[in-house]
Structure formats: structure tokens, C-alpha cells
Structure 1
Amino acid sequence: MRVVESKPKTGSRRLTAVLVAVLTAMGLMGTAIGAGQSSAASYAGFWIDACGMPTNGAFGGGSMKPGQVKVQAWRKAGNKRTVILLDGMRAGYNRSGWDIETNARALADHGVNVVMPVGGPASFYTNWDAPSNFNGQRKAYKWGCVIDNRLVPALRSKGFASKGGKYAIMGLSMGGGAALTHAAQRRDLYYAAGSLSGYLTLSAPGMRTALRLAMLDVAPAPWNVDAMWGPPWSPRWTANDPFMLINRMHGLKVFVGSGNGFFGRYNYPGNTFDDLFKGTPLELLAFAQAKAFEAAAFVQGVPVMSYSANGTHAWGYWQDMLWNAKARGFFN
């Protein structure tokens, strides 16, 4: 899905402090520290093997280390948990959108180490069947291997805090469904999974066509969705559909957040067109799918920590969802 980014606004320190106090009291945020502010946690970024997928060049990513994936990370002595944050459809090649657009790194000052794998636009953080021939990709994405088989072992070997050797994983939009899928398929690696405005019923009528159209619109060139999980009738589609994996989520801590498509405090006059004609429809779809997922999970006896409020498909709302999850004990 296309991520519509909201442009940050500045305001007086006093107004910011008031907003933070009000939101904290309402339980919408655990702690809010402005993006870019100093942190007591230390940067602990590193590189991991790319499982043979492209990491350098026009469609592999701008990596300074061919064959390696950059991982941004912040940690603090005494922290007891670590979360892996997955990006959206337009993930950047050199820096995570979570770091650019939100204050997510500040979680490391509040008990939760933060890990952000960089890259993977239009990847759905999965292993692709083949390279995307529409844009000349030279090797197929292997993000399933990178996240599960390279990143998690690296976190363990580097001593990142865990819960019995398991980690939390959370993503937005494209990364939301991917986070739930990774956790459901690899219960040995993850104890908690969160989706923020994710698309959780990929088998629903029209969803495969919707993804096909969305991936044709991802810069710098269109991506061929058939190269990901094969044609629409391929069993890999249902194997990677969070809705179809609910029965494998028993005992997993699950968080599902979405806006309702209505304008909220992060919708600015200068961005009205994108918010109305892109952000609202995307979020309405995510909202509907979140509710369908939650209902199915209830029937199957899988508890879901649910969040919804006014908002469109934009970074400010995902930041609020992240801190709401923290305030409600999702990472515990």
C-alpha cells in the first residue's frame, strides 16, 4: 500500500508539553519524546548477511556494503525487551522511515531496545519466488530469510534483551501484515507481533488486484507482484495471509491498530489532497480489515489488543499507536 507521509510541524515547547500530558493521561501514548531529540540510549547499529538478495544498485538499495543489510538499532543497559520495527511500502534504502518520521528510537529510553532493518520497498518482508522483471531486479528478495534467519540470531549473539530468547516484531502498512505473518510462522523467534494500519486479509476479494496496482506505483519503477508469491492461485498467497494464520497465533501477544479514515490532528491543510484521496481510502481499507481480523481472532480464541481512533494513513498516527502499545504493556 502506498504510504502517505505527513509533514512534521513545529510548535511551542509549552504547547507540545500540554499535548503530551493530555495524550498520556488519555492512555494514547506511553511517553512522547520529539523525533530527533537527544536520547540516553546508545546507537548500536550493525550489518547482517542479505541471504543473497540484492543490496546495491538501482533496485537493490544503495547499501554501502554489497551483500549486507543495514540495521539501525538503539539499546540501553537494563532494558528487558527488544522490538523489530518493519517499514512501509516505500521503505528507504539508507535509513528507516521509523527513524526519519517518528520518535520510535525513544522507546530505548523506556525499557525497549529498538531495531530497524533498512530497505525492502514493496517487499512485504518476504521471500520472493523470483526477481521482479518489471523493474529489472537482478536477484529475488529474500527478506523472510534476512529477518528470521539473520537478524534474530544476530540480536541474540549481540545480547539484545529478549523474552526467553524471543523478540517483539511490529510493522506499519505493508510491514504490519508481514510482522504478524513472521510471528505466526516462527513462534520460536517472536513472543509479540503488532500491525499498524496493516492489510490483514489478503485473501479477501479484490485484495490481490489491489496489491498488484499498488506495487505498480512504487518508485523508481513498477514491481511485479506475481514475482512475489506467484499468480493469484498460488498457495503462497494464503500461506502469507495473516487472516489465514490466526489459528497459529494462540499464545502470541497481538496488537492491531488502525485509524478510521477521518481527519485527525496529523492532517494538515497543505497535505489535504493526499490525505483525502490517498490516506483516507488506504486507512478505511486497513480499518475494515483490522475489524475483520479482530472478529475472526475472537471466534478462534486469540486475544487481540486493539486500537482505533481518528486518523488517516500517515506517520503521526503510527507513532501514537506505537506508544499506545507501550503504555498498555504490549512489550512486557
Structure 2
Amino acid sequence: MKRLMAAFVALAAMSSVAVVVGSGTASAAPRVQQYFIDGCGMPAVKVRMWTKPGNYKTVIALDGLRATNDISGWEHNTRIQDMADSGVNVVEPIGGLASFYSDWNAPSNFNNQPYRYRWSCAINQRLIPELDRRGLAVGRTGKYAIMGISMGGNSAMVIGANNPRIDHMFSMSGYLNLSAPGMREAIRIALLDAGIEAGVGPFNSDSMWGPPTSVRWLENDPFVQIGKMRGKKVRVASGSGLQGRFPTDFLGLIQGAPLEALSLAQSRAFQVQALVNGVQITSDFPSTGLHAWGYWSDMVFRAKNQGWFRD
């Protein structure tokens, strides 16, 4: 019961936590390019990207639960686009509020969503072929990296595991064991709250992957799908739940601490599962860190500085 309540409290807070507490290495940003891709039945998806000739990898950066339709949370709150100055092209698909970047079973009926989320289709069948067309399949393998925070961390692992065009997957503060006690119920609460907070009405998780007994929950659980990650480079990162070098207010602390503590527990369990299953995995578990953008930015730049994005 304690684990169930902890999951409820933590994930119900997800939609109200994306605390801006800092950013990564700063430098002049490369020229940004913006275009739209077909949304597979959704409205066209905006894409913003930063590229430079001669770079050795292209990474797709996924947002969190409270993604907005103007620009990515990564651009709102960090400078990861600066990586394009020194080796790594950055691609940010925009939007995906409460979507888990997945193909849903149906439009959300709680808020009369006018279309079905088709994010897996948009990324796999529209975005990656467009990146290929633009010559961004760079590096020795000619394959892509994908990364995400919180909700996007889960999604990066699932999309990467199932797409042969992706060979690097990186989850930051993700929830990587959806079959753990209380997680499916907690995600239900988080989706309800995310839609209400955004002013579009509550999202129904039954419209996403069906009831909690549906096999689609297993198909979107990185812990269950880990066997498909063999032969790829996997990385997980999470803070400890203790405040670190970035200042935050009391609300950010009481919301961000339990979220990050839960993510840390799941990320460590996922790391063990990966090692047992022969998956090449590295980790970044700093002694401090909340569920907040400054720490996620630091995680990305540490990965880059350690050479993780290289083939």
C-alpha cells in the first residue's frame, strides 16, 4: 500500500512539475530550422532542429508530460541545441501533451479529443524518413539517437527499442517499469490532471492503451521490452530527490523530490534488468537532483562530454 500511495502522489504531480532551475553549457546557438511533418491523422507536427555539417550524431529530444505546442520544453528551459556546435545535431518534435508519444487506441473521450494521438507513427514513419531525406543519418552507423525526460524517457526507450533506425536511447528521470504496483493507476491520475492543468480537459488513459489489463501496457513498458534493446546503446539517468546546485522554491521541492526518488528507484531496477538481459547500458545517478530542467540539461551535457552519443 505504501508503494501504491507513493506512486499515486508522485505521478499525480507530474503535470505540475517541470521546474525551471537552470540550464546547461551556454554558447551561441546554431541556425534553427523549422518545418512541419504529416501527423498521421493528427494535426501537422512542428519540428525545430539545429544542425551543422560534419556532426557525428543526430538526437531526437522528446518533451515531458506538459509539452506545449509552441516550442519544446528543451528550448524553453535549456541550451541543448548548443550541442550542434560541437558534434550532435538536435531535433525537437513539438507537442505531445500527455501522449507518451504513442499511438493511442482512440481519441480521448473524457475531453472530446477531436483526433487520435499517433505520435509513434509521426516519429517513426514521418520524422525519421524526413531526417534521412535531409541527410541527417550521420555517423558510422547512420542511425539516430533518441532521448527524453520523465514521460519522454519512457517513450524514448519504447520507440528506440522498436525502431531499427535508432541505436542510442537515453531516459532522464523516466518511469521505466509501468508494471510495478500502482504505476498504471498513477499514470491514469497524471493524464487526468495534465489535461485539466493545460485547459483542454482530462485525458483518459483507457483511450491510450486500453484498461490496465490490456497487453498494450506491456508493449509500452520499457522493463518488459528490454530484450529488444540488445545491440543498442542505452543510458538511464536520475537524480536522488535531494536539492542540488539549482535553487528552487518550496513547491518545486515538495513536488520534484518524490517524483525523482520514484524515477531513481525505477531507473536503478531497469539498469539491473538490462545487465541481466545483456543490454549495453550506462547510467548517471548523481547524489543530488530534483525533477527539473537544470538537472536534465546537466545529464545531457555529461553524456555528450563522456562520448555517449558517438557510435
- How do 1:1-332 residues align onto structure 2 when only pairs under 5 Å count? 1=11, 2=14, 4-8=17-21, 32-34=24-26, 37-39=27-29, 41-53=30-42, 55=43, 68-163=44-139, 164-186=141-163, 188-218=164-194, 219-220=198-199, 221-268=201-248, 271-276=249-254, 278-309=255-286, 310-332=288-310
Pick the structure with greater CA Rg: 1
Query: Using the alignment, how far apart are the partners of 2:39 and 2:275 within structure 1?
Result: 37
Q: What is the DSSP-based 3-state SS (H/G/I as helix, E as strand, rest coil) of the residue aligned with 1:45? A: strand
Q: What is the DSSP-based 3-state SS (H/G/I as helix, E as strand, rest coil) of the residue aligned with 1:215? A: helix
How big is the shift at 1:267?
3.3
How big is the shift at 1:161?
4.0
| Structure 1 residues 70 and 204: alpha-carbon distance in aligned structure 2, compared to 1, 3 A threshold | same
Query: Using the alignment, how far apart are the partners of 2:178 and 2:253 within structure 1?
Result: 24
Query: Using the alignment, how far apart are the partners of 1:298 and 1:79 within structure 2?
Result: 30
Query: Using the alignment, how far apart are the partners of 2:251 and 2:119 within structure 1?
Result: 33
How big is the shift at 1:130?
0.5
Q: What is the DSSP-based 3-state SS (H/G/I as helix, E as strand, rest coil) of the residue aligned with 1:217? A: helix
Query: Using the alignment, how far apart are the partners of 1:136 and 1:233 within structure 2?
Result: 24
The TM-score normalised by the length of structure 2 is 0.90
How big is the shift at 1:265?
1.3
| Structure 1 residues 9 and 302: alpha-carbon distance in aligned structure 2, compared to 1, 3 A threshold | closer
Q: Give identity over the alignment, percent.
A: 48
Q: What is the DSSP-based 3-state SS (H/G/I as helix, E as strand, rest coil) of the residue aligned with 2:238? A: strand
| Structure 1 residues 9 and 104: alpha-carbon distance in aligned structure 2, compared to 1, 3 A threshold | closer
> Residue type matched to 1:48 in 2?
I
8 Å CA contact 2:68, 2:97 repeated in 1:
yes
8 Å CA contact 1:45, 1:74 repeated in 2:
no
Query: Using the alignment, how far apart are the partners of 1:140 and 1:133 within structure 2?
Result: 10
Render the CA deviation track for 1:76-123: whole Å, top value 9, x for unaligned. Answer: 111121000000000011100000100110010110000000001000
> Residue type matched to 1:136 in 2?
N
Number of equivalenced pairs? 291
8 Å CA contact 1:156, 1:165 repeated in 2:
no
> Residue type matched to 2:95 in 1?
G
> Residue type matched to 1:171 in 2?
G
Of the structure 1 ranges 113-122 and 291-300, higher mean CA displacement relative to structure 2 is found in 291-300
Q: What is the DSSP-based 3-state SS (H/G/I as helix, E as strand, rest coil) of the residue aligned with 2:55? A: coil
How big is the shift at 1:136?
1.4
Render the CA deviation track for 1:43-73: whole Å, top value 9, x for unaligned. Answer: 12221000012x3xxxxxxxxxxxx110010
8 Å CA contact 2:62, 2:148 repeated in 1:
yes
8 Å CA contact 2:106, 2:207 repeated in 1:
yes
Q: 1:25 maps to what in 2? A: none
> Residue type matched to 1:312 in 2?
L
8 Å CA contact 2:22, 2:293 repeated in 1:
no
8 Å CA contact 1:80, 1:161 repeated in 2:
no
8 Å CA contact 2:61, 2:91 repeated in 1:
yes
Q: 2:6 maps to what in 1? A: none
> Residue type matched to 2:118 in 1?
K
Q: What is the DSSP-based 3-state SS (H/G/I as helix, E as strand, rest coil) of the residue aligned with 1:242? A: coil
Query: Using the alignment, how far apart are the partners of 1:152 and 1:319 within structure 2?
Result: 24
The TM-score normalised by the length of structure 1 is 0.85
8 Å CA contact 1:132, 1:224 repeated in 2:
yes
Asked which structure has the greater RCO (Cα within 8 Å, sep 6+), the reply is 2
Q: What is the DSSP-based 3-state SS (H/G/I as helix, E as strand, rest coil) of the residue aligned with 2:280? A: coil
8 Å CA contact 1:46, 1:72 repeated in 2:
yes
Query: Using the alignment, how far apart are the partners of 2:240 and 2:72 within structure 1?
Result: 25
> Residue type matched to 1:124 in 2?
F
In structure 1, the gaps of 5 or more residues are: 11-31, 56-67
8 Å CA contact 1:79, 1:161 repeated in 2:
no
8 Å CA contact 2:50, 2:91 repeated in 1:
yes
Query: Using the alignment, how far apart are the partners of 1:328 and 1:216 within structure 2?
Result: 39
In structure 2, the gaps of 5 or more residues are: 1-10
Dislocated runs of 4+, deviation >4 Å:
none
> Residue type matched to 1:249 in 2?
M
Render the CA deviation track for 1:199-246: whole Å, top value 9, x for unaligned. Answer: 000111110001011111112221101100000111000011000011
Q: 1:60 maps to what in 2? A: none
